[in-house]
Amino acid sequence: MLVDSHCHLDAEEFDADRDAVIARARAAGVAAQIVPAVDAASWEKLRAVCATAPGLHPAYGLHPMYLERHRPEHLSALREWIERERPVAVGECGLDFFVDGLDAAQQRTYFDGQLRLAREFALPVIVHARRAVDDVLAAIRRFAPLTGVAHSFSGSADQAKRLFESGFLIGLGGPVTYERAQRLRGLVATLPIESLLLETDAPDQPDSAHRGQRNEPARLATVCTTIAALRGIEPDAVAHATTANAERLFRLPSLA
Ligand SMILES: [Zn+2]
């Protein structure tokens, strides 16, 4: 049993065959998926998508890459939405200092607002941190205690350690399957297994065998077997540990 801790199942790339995508995921052992939001306009569709099958768990938030779509009032709307819907997490939120043209001060305002909501509702946070891990660490410490996940982690061993010490798990997906990702693959081999979550980030970030194609949650098993091979352990051990980590973080019903 696997948990896809980050899957944009509501994305329009899945509109034509979403039921089949979910069925393939279940057939591949993916028993549950966390579906994070990107902007306020997407919340309603995301909720509807997650109501179509068991094992689909929504998270609601305002993604930093979609900054131009966010308005200050979306933070108060998010508070009301979370209070009513009781999702498993706040997110996707965070900081992106890689993409040009995203105002840093505005990003920080939305990120801080969402960390405040996570704290208020005692929910984990799904964090996007690109070229921004130290800034994310500083922010989550200001709102401590928090829990969450640094999704698609690409930082250093030291940053991973500090995140874990701050209550955050490390989300790993397709990038670990690329031979050239030497630093990430070295890290994956040595991080404590209690700190790891599996993710696909579908429809984005396909594994190396599906480069350039739409990614699917059913491919989570490839991430799992790659991490197992890098650590020199059985895929079952990675599956068991990461599923337990996801159940604990998101307070999911037990899949065992
Ligand atoms: Zn995402």
Rg value, the chain, Cα: 17
Question: 75 C-alpha to center of ligand 1: Å?
Answer: 19
Residue 91 CA to ligand 1 center (angstroms) comes to 9
**CA–CA dist 22, 39 (Å, integer):** 23
Distance 202 CA to ligand 1 centre (A): 8
Q: What is the DSSP letter of 155?
A: S
Q: Are 177 and 223 in contact (CB under 8 A)?
A: yes
Q: Which two tokens stand for residue 97?
A: 């200092």
From ligand 1's centre to the CA of 143, what distance in Å? 22
Q: Tell me how far the alpha carbon of residue 6 lies from the centroid of ligand 1, in angstroms.
A: 6
- Rounded Cα–Cα distance for residues 199 and 222 (Å): 11
* Number of CB atoms found within 10 A of residue 205's CB: 18
Could you tell me the domains of the chain? Answer: 2-250 (3.20.20.140)
pLDDT per residue of the chain (256 residues) written in tens, 0 to 9: 999 999 999 999 999 999 999 999 999 999 999 999 999 999 999 999 999 999 999 999 999 999 999 999 999 999 999 999 999 999 999 999 999 999 999 999 999 999 999 999 999 999 999 999 999 999 999 999 999 999 999 999 999 999 999 999 999 999 999 999 999 999 999 999 999 999 999 999 999 999 999 999 999 999 999 999 999 999 999 999 999 999 999 999 887 6
The answer to whether the beta carbons of residues 246 and 32 sit under 8 Å apart is yes
CA distance 173 to 42: 23
Query: What's the token pair of residue 28?
Result: 């591949």
Question: Residue 3 C-alpha to ligand 1 middle, in angstroms?
Answer: 15
Question: Which of 104, 87, 75 shows the shortest CA–CA distance to 50?
Answer: 87
83 CA distance to ligand 1 centroid (A)?
A: 22
Predicted local confidence at residue 256, as pLDDT: 64
CA of 181 from ligand 1 middle (Å) equals: 20
How far, in Å, from the CA of 92 to the mean position of ligand 1? 6
Ligand 1 centre to CA of 206 (Å) is: 13
- Residue 191 tokens read as 């991080």
Cα 252 to ligand 1 centre (Å)? 20
Burial of 161 (0-12, 13-18, 19+ CB in 10 A): middle
- The CA 57 to ligand 1 mean position distance, Å, reads 14
Q: Separation of 37 CA from ligand 1 center, angstroms? A: 8
Cα separations in angstroms, 148 against 88, 122, 249: 11, 11, 7
